[in-house]
Each structure stands twice: as structure tokens, then as C-alpha cells.
Structure 1
Amino acid sequence: MSSTELPSAPAASVLPKVATVRVADGERLRSVGLPGITLTVRSRQPAREGLPPALYVHGLGGSSQNWSALMQQLDGDVDCEAVDLPGFGDSPPPDDGDYSITAHARAVIRYLDASDRGPVHLLGNSLGGAVTTRVAAVRPDLVRTLTLVSPALPELRVQRTAVPTALLAVPGVTSLFTRLSRGWTAEQRVRGVMNLCYGDPGRATPEGFRNAVEEMERRLQLPYFWDALTRSARGLVNAYTLSGQHALWRQAERVLAPTLLIYGGRDQLVGYRMCQKAARTFRDSRLLSLPEAGHVAMMEYPEHVARAFRDLLEDTGTGAGEPAVRDVAGVGSAGDGAVTENAGS
């Protein structure tokens, strides 16, 4: 494995020059070369030595930036790293053009094997939830705990609001959409994404909105942006059709790691009703319900997600052995109606 520090995260030299990736205070980026892929990894300096490692995996169309707020909340509890999956964020496309769930899971496994950081606390959102579920099922030696925020696991009845995203997997739809949306500004696109992914788009700060617009402008310059998005959507839909031992729900049954499940009551992409099925399927699970949250609870309610994650570390004895300073107020103390429960095994 080769690793190169990226102070301002320039694009790979073989690709057209585009705007640089935003790096928040306390973060750094580095490029990691692995067989067939190059991954960009975002990290924070841990508050002290000896903290257990954690790895965050983003969702469809997202990037490691989606985890910045939660990473800042947890830098006193775990040694935080977030990966840009191949073709997303600042990671170039994979050499073989494979964007299946299996390929994304293979990329995560290759990184963990090469970095020798495992076992890690593994966290995934949406597409990243499907990817990390597969990683935890096939390589339990790499995973201490699993935290899933609105994981994209198969649903029999897909929400109407999720249909346009699923349609990206249909050949020709992406080309049609890009033609129809050619005149849209980055601001319009970001507002559309936030309206879809946030329970309350008003929770995004002006700074957060500006950063998202800058990132959208940068991504639209990438020649592979739509291809990576389309092929990953297709890979997710294809994974939903698999049966037998490769089926995602069957793999969820095989996960041995203590699992924290987080679902938003206003999620327009993953049905809130799926939280109970997930709680029954993952054998050692805990459920955090956030009725006011949407699809990206770690961005809308990072403090609540962080508190539930700390509880997971405490309950399972998988922390660093030194208790972190914690807010003792209940998860629902901010008036969001949060509900926590231990789903058990």
C-alpha cells in the first residue's frame, strides 16, 4: 500500500484539473494506492493516543465529508477515518469500472487489510450501510462494532420518494436527466438533494450549504461523476435481487459484531418501517429512532448519533478503556422525540 498526503487534495494527475476538496479544521486527506483502486482517506487527529480505530463509509452520491460533523464529535472516543469510495469524493474510478456492492466492500476490505487498522468500529450510511453489512458478514475479523445509519437494505415496498434515485440504475435515464437538468445551478441541485435527504433542510447551516454547493460544483466538473453515480445505483439495485448466501438480509443475519441501527422518521429514501425488520435480523442490535431526522442523521443530529455510539462502546466494552467525557442528558433531551431500545438477539 502506498500513501500520499494531500494537503489541498488535488485531483489525480491523469484527470482534468478541478477545484480542490474542502478539508475542515483538524482534518487531513491522504491518497492510498491499492491494487486496482486509489482511495482518498479523510482523518482527524485523535484527542489522545490509544483510541480504537473507526472507519466511516458514505452513501450513494456522498463522500467522506458527510461524516465530518460526527468525526468531530467522536475524536475523543475513536481514531477517526472516513473513506471516499472509488469514483466518489476525491477517489478516482476503479480500474475495472466495477461499482457493485461487492466491489465497494472489496475496496473497504483491501484498505483495512493494507492499513492493518482492524478490527475497527465500522460505520456506514445508506449505500455505505449495505457495503459495511457485507464487510461485517464476510470478514468478521475486521469489525469490532457496526453502526448503520439508514442502511440501504432491500425493501419489498419502496417509498415513492425513493423511486427517482432507483431509476438512475435504468439504462438511458441518467443521460435523459443530465439533458433535462443542464440549466440547473449547483445551488438548485444542492437544495434538491437536501430536501430529499434531510428531515428538516433548515438544520443545514449557511456555511454547510455553501460547502455543499462548492462540492457540487467540483463534482460536476469530473468526467466520471454521472457514470460512478449510475453504476453504483445499478450495483445497489442488482444487490437487492441476489438470493441465497449473497442476499443482503441473509448476510445481515451472519453479522457477529454488536450493531447500532439508526433510522430517521422522515427518511424519504429508506423506509422507517424497516427499522424493526433490521432490529430482528441483526443478532446483537440496538436501535436508535430519530422521528424528526431524514436519511443522513449523522449530518442532521451528529450529537445524538455520537451519544448512541458512545453507549454502544460502553455497553459492549469495545472502547479505549478510559471513559470519555459525556453529556448525561437523554438522547431525546433536545426535543426531537428520539427513542432508543436494545433489540437484543
Structure 2
Amino acid sequence: MPEGPATPIAPERRPARLSTVALPGADAVPPPWPGEQVAVRGGEVFVRRTPWTGPVGGPREGAPRERALYVHGLGGASTNWTDLAALLAVRFDGWALDLPGFGRSRPPARTSYSVRGHVAAVVDVLERIVAEPGEAAGRPVHLLGNSLGGLVSVLVAAGRPDLVATLTLVSPAMPVYRVPGAFNRTLLLLLLPGIPALAERRLSGVTPERQVRGMVQMCFGDPRRVPRVRLEQALEEMRERAGQPWATQALTRSMRGLITSYLRVGPRNAWRLARSLRPPTLVVWGDRDRLVDPALAPRLADAVPDARLLVLEGVGHVAMLEAPEPTARAVLGLAEDAAEAVLQRGDEARAS
């Protein structure tokens, strides 16, 4: 049997520290950030860019300026990070990619939607960000992932710790062996061999309006929190997706790739890799998550050697959309502590 999420013996769990830095006001809902196609192995992905703003009302000179990459979940897109990236711009230059086949990214070269393929795309984008000229060039990047993007980020950080400064996991799709009841029954067909094409045909018959309504009901703890403008943007995106001939294939085959990854045993199992993570890590979960059981939150925080935990009351599967401010404060607290630890190690090295 595959290795399950057994809780290892761990030191006392650390709660997330929320930064007190001033954040931009939430009066206006920012539009999606602009982006461009970026070359990765096997094709291109669309990457949006959120420029650094510096401190709110403070001097920009000498202020921390680091880099972050945001990775969305199954069926999502780079626009899922619009609000959080705007808040984190006080410290980060931000990049958010559309995984192959999602958002404005075309399918991968061999239409393979394996988790390994998504990991390769994220590594390629990270290497590009590290090499980008300017302040923070050559330094590791703060990596944030949600759901499928969270699992991908665990695998990236385990395999390429040199690229990752800190890791933030928002309801990551860690391996479980019981499918949540909130999943559409059509998706359950993917567990059977030879079925993806049938699932694709069924999903292609669902209207964009129904897809958006279903997404909001499944992903948000309180759908009333979704601003009307965000619903309109989601509907516009879903209509754009409906015009892409590969859209349902990307969803169904990425889902199958996710399930296949759950069956991996041995040292490449995601729970084992989580125990080997080196970057400081933040685990964020909503206690009303209907897609990934919130009971996994403390288990994952216990499994990762240097982890902090933030559980948000009344929040669902997409905390960066539903509760961007507390999520941002926890991410900034993690980055501040990581920067302080780097300085302390430098002082100790010089003293020795």
C-alpha cells in the first residue's frame, strides 16, 4: 500500500507569525496583472508579473526586495493570485504562471499532464526568475502553491532546494486515499483505465456559468465573500477556456496525473519528500476546505522540519482569494524570519 500521511514524532508545532508591516488598502479590486509567454522545456507557459512597490508610505531605498513565484491549483490559473500578489508587492517582485494547458498556457509538447511535467515547468520558470537581472538576481525565490500547485511546489522544493528561499503551501493536494465527496462524480471516472476521453466529453457540456457557480461553492468557505467583480472575471476566464480545444483535456488528465502521483511509493512519495524539506515552510489551510481535508494541515506542519501553521476560520480551499490579508501577513512573517536567520548565520560565520 502507498505510504499514508502518518504523523511523525515532531517538536512542538509552531504557529505562523503574522507580520505587522503596513499593507495596501483593500478599497479597490485590482485587475489581473499583465504577462507574457515564457519558454519552458516542451513549449511555453504564460507568466504574469506583479512589480515590487516597496513599503506603504515608507522609503523605498534600502527596503527589502525579493522575488516570489505563485503556482495555482487544478482548474485554476495565474489570476488566482491577483489579490495576494498585490499585497505581497510591498516586499516581492512577483511572478505567477499558468501551468501547461491552463489559463493562457498551451498544452505541453506531448499533451502529458503528469505532476512531473508540471514540476519541470515550475523549475524552468524558477531558474529564469533567479537569472533575471536586477536586485535579488541569483538569489532563491519564495515559492507559493495552492492545491495541485502546492503538491508541485513540495516536489520542486525537495528536488531543487537551491531555488527556493521559503515555501508556502495553501491547502496543498497531499496524497490521500479517500476521494472527498465534493468532487464531481465525473472526475471519479478518471480512476478507471480508458475513461478520460468520456470524462472530457461530459465536462465539455457544462456551461461556463455552471462551472463558475460550482467552483465558488466548492472552493470558498463563504461564497458571499467573493466580490462581484471577481465573479465576472472568473466567468470571462471560463468563457475564454471554453474556446480552447484542450481545456477539458488539461483538467481531466491533470486530475488523473494527480491521482497517479498518489500511488507513488518509496523515497519519491510526497509525504516522505515533505519530511526532507529544507526551506522554511508555511502551511495555510481553511477549516472549511471541502476539497482537501483540513485534518491534513497539522499533519503536514508536523511532517515538515521547519514549518509554521496557519488555519483560517470559515475559509475554504483558496485562502489567497478568500482571506488574502491574513495569508499575506503570514507569508511576510515567514520571509522576515527567514531573512533574519540568514543575517544571523552570516554574523555567526564571521564571528567564527
Fold match, TM over 0.5? yes
What is the deviation of 1:240?
0.3
Is 1:103 matched up with 2:108? no
The TM-score, its normalising length taken from structure 1, stands at 0.81
- Which residues in structure 2 correspond to 1:1-345 (within 5 Å)? 25=31, 27-48=33-54, 51-117=65-131, 118-162=139-183, 164=185, 165-168=187-190, 170-171=192-193, 175-177=197-199, 180=202, 184-317=206-339
- Alignment check: 8 A CA contact 1:121 1:143 kept: yes
Would you say how many aligned residue pairs link Structure 1 and Structure 2?
A: 299
Task: Identify the residue that residue 16 of structure 1 maps to in structure 2.
Answer: none
* Paired letter, 1:192: G
Aligned residue type for 2:183: A
Q: Deviations over 1:74-116 (max 9, x none)?
A: 1111111101111111111111222111111111111222343
Q: CA deviation at 1:168?
A: 4.1
Which residue in the other structure is 2:5 paired with?
Answer: none
Higher relative contact order (CA 8 A, sep 6+): 2
Query: Whole-Å Cα distance in 2 between the matches of residues 230 and 297 of structure 1?
Result: 24
Name structure 1 gaps, 5 residues minimum.
1-22, 322-345
Contact 2:32 2:79 in 1 (8 A): no
1:26 & 1:230 partners in 2: Cα distance? 26
RMSD (Å) for aligned C-alpha atoms: 2.3
- Give the aligned residue type for 2:318: V
1:183–1:98 distance in 2 versus 1, CA, 3 Å? closer
CA gap 1:282/1:167 in 2 versus in 1, 3 angstroms: farther
Question: Aligned-pair distance for 1:51?
Answer: 1.1
Identity %: 44
Q: CA deviation at 1:182?
A: 6.0
Q: Cα gap change, 1:60/1:268 in structure 2, threshold over 3 Å: closer, same or farther? A: same
In 2, Cα distance between the equivalents of 1:225 and 1:104?
16
In the TM superposition, structure 1's runs of 4+ consecutive aligned residues that sit over 6 Å from their partners are: 318-321
> Would you say the 8 A contact 1:147–1:261 is kept in 2?
yes
Structure 1 stretch displaced more, 98-107 or 183-192: 183-192
**Per-residue Cα deviation, 1:135-170 (whole angstroms, up to 9, x for no partner):** 000000000000000000012444222364454454
User: Given residue 304 of structure 1, which amino acid in structure 2 is its aligned partner?
Assistant: P
Are the equivalent residues in 2 in contact too, given 1:197–1:294 (CA < 8 A)? yes
TM-score of the two chains, using structure 2 as the length reference: 0.79
One-letter code of the match for 1:302?
Answer: P
Amino acid at match of 2:48: R
Shift of 1:189: 1.6
Give the Cα–Cα distance (whole angstroms) in 2 for the partners of residues 79 and 125 of structure 1: 19
Cα distance in 1 between the residues matched to 2:342 and 2:83: 21
Q: Is the 8 A contact 1:26 1:45 kept in 2?
A: no
Once residues 183 and 233 of structure 1 are traced to their aligned partners in structure 2, the CA distance between those partners, rounded to angstroms, is 18
Contact 1:263 1:289 in 2 (8 A): yes
Return the letter of the residue paired with 2:335: L
Letter in 2 for 1:314: E
Decide whether aligned partners of structure 1 residues 89 and 272 sit closer, same or farther in structure 2, where only a CA change above 3 A counts. Answer: same
- Closer/same/farther in 2, CA of residues 166 and 149 from structure 1, 3 Å limit: farther
CA distance in 2, matches of 1:270, 1:159: 7
Tell me the distance in 1 between the aligned counterparts of 2:142 and 2:204: 41
The 8 Å contact of residues 136 and 255 in structure 1, kept in 2 or not, is answered as yes
